Amino acid sequence: MSNRSWFFAVEGQQKGPYPDPQFRDFIARGTVSAETLVWTEGMTGWQKAGDVPGLIASATVSPTLAGSGFAVAGGGHGGSSLSIDFGIWDYTWRTIVLFLALLVVIPAPWAIVWWMKWFVEKVRVPGRPNLAFTGRPLTVMWWYFGFIALAVCLAVVAAIIESDVLDKLDILPQLVLYWLFLRWSVANLASNGQPLGLSFSGTLLAFFGWCLLALVSILTIIGWAWVYAAQIRWICRNIQGTRRQVVFNGTGLEYLWRLLVATLASIFIIPIPWVWRWLIRWVLSQIELVERI
């Protein structure tokens, strides 16, 4: 790997060949960015540097900093962070279609899988090229329609016995549905056409606990941000089946101000796709893959 030579293109001109250490120093200095077209022996064609698995992530620390003990910017553990990139209009129309499908109900399972496949393919995971989602609509269909049937039954019974408490219990099947969806999403990730064999080990009881804590934290006005950040850390910590540990580095304060900015910008309607892409990018950039100790 280290004895290969690299070429890159700048303003339509080919540069190189450069030995691997020098080329990675170009990346660390910003001369070669994620959008720069690069090529080396073994590649079928020119690719953006950000699309070459492990290239940008493994070269983001310059040789000088690497020996000084400083961690990679944006990660507190010196691992490799996730990233995502997608077009605004592509994201907008797909999300609108998904929302409409959820309102219509019947096409919802197919729309969910269709949207997930598109979204997951946009995620870049260091060392895991061509990420894909392999979930099937029929699985979602049983959960989704089962949840609707249960919610309707609870509503009917609550109306018959005139019980406000029973009427509010429809949140429980919702939480079960979210937990199942989380487990299903993790279990159906693949790379290069091969299942990753991941699983989510967080229990339903613990998930209920986090959701209850999040609900109570709203009373503190701002405490919910720290709870949400901690819940994401818990979710990442419970992803099993990978030799690298999944870590979330975002803090409650970082989550708070970003979500407030996104919420305020959403009031004006038009900026919604831009601010939510910005928020999604930040969340994924805080998810890091770290070698297990």
Out of 21-35, 136-150, 174-188, the most confident range is 174-188
Out of 30-34, 43-47, 218-222, the most confident range is 218-222
Mean pLDDT, the chain, rounded, equals: 84
User: What per-residue confidence (pLDDT) applies to 293?
Assistant: 59
Percent of the chain with pLDDT over 90: 48
Of residues 196 and 25, the one with the higher pLDDT is 196
Specify which residues 62 forms β-bridges with: none
Longest dimension (CA), the chain: 78
- For 141, counting Cβ atoms within 10 Å of its Cβ (0-12 exposed, 13-18 middle, 19+ buried), the class is middle
Contact present, 273 and 91 (Cβ < 8 Å): yes
Of residues 8 and 187, the one with the higher pLDDT is 187
Q: How far is CA 33 from CA 24, 41, 47, 75, 258, in A?
A: 11, 20, 12, 18, 25
Q: Residue 12 pLDDT more than 80?
A: no
Where does the pLDDT of residue 208 fall: very low under 50, low under 70, confident under 90, or very high at 90 and above?
Answer: very high
Q: How far is CA 58 from CA 66, 124, 239, in A?
A: 11, 13, 23
Specify which residues 48 forms β-bridges with: 37
Sorted by where each starts, the structural domains of the chain and their CATH numbers stand as: 5-66 (3.30.1490), 80-291 (no CATH)
| 1 vs 3: CA distance, rounded Å | 6
User: What per-residue confidence (pLDDT) applies to 69?
Assistant: 34
| 133 vs 136: CA distance, rounded Å | 9
Contact present, 288 and 249 (Cβ < 8 Å): yes
In this predicted structure, which of 39-53, 73-87, 99-113, 183-197 has the lowest mean pLDDT? Answer: 73-87
Q: Residue 60 pLDDT more than 70?
A: no
User: What per-residue confidence (pLDDT) applies to 49?
Assistant: 86
User: What per-residue confidence (pLDDT) applies to 55?
Assistant: 83
> For 246-271, what is each residue's pLDDT tens digit?
999 999 999 999 999 999 999 999 99
Q: Residue 10 pLDDT more than 70?
A: yes
Contact present, 241 and 198 (Cβ < 8 Å): yes
Of residues 221 and 143, the one with the higher pLDDT is 221
Where does the pLDDT of residue 182 fall: very low under 50, low under 70, confident under 90, or very high at 90 and above?
Answer: very high
| 140 vs 114: CA distance, rounded Å | 12
Q: Residue 166 pLDDT more than 70?
A: no
User: What per-residue confidence (pLDDT) applies to 187?
Assistant: 95
- What does residue 267 show for φ and ψ, rounded to 5 degrees? -60, -30
> For 92-130, what is each residue's pLDDT tens digit?
999 999 999 999 988 999 999 999 999 999 998 877 778
Contact present, 26 and 8 (Cβ < 8 Å): yes
User: What per-residue confidence (pLDDT) applies to 62?
Assistant: 40
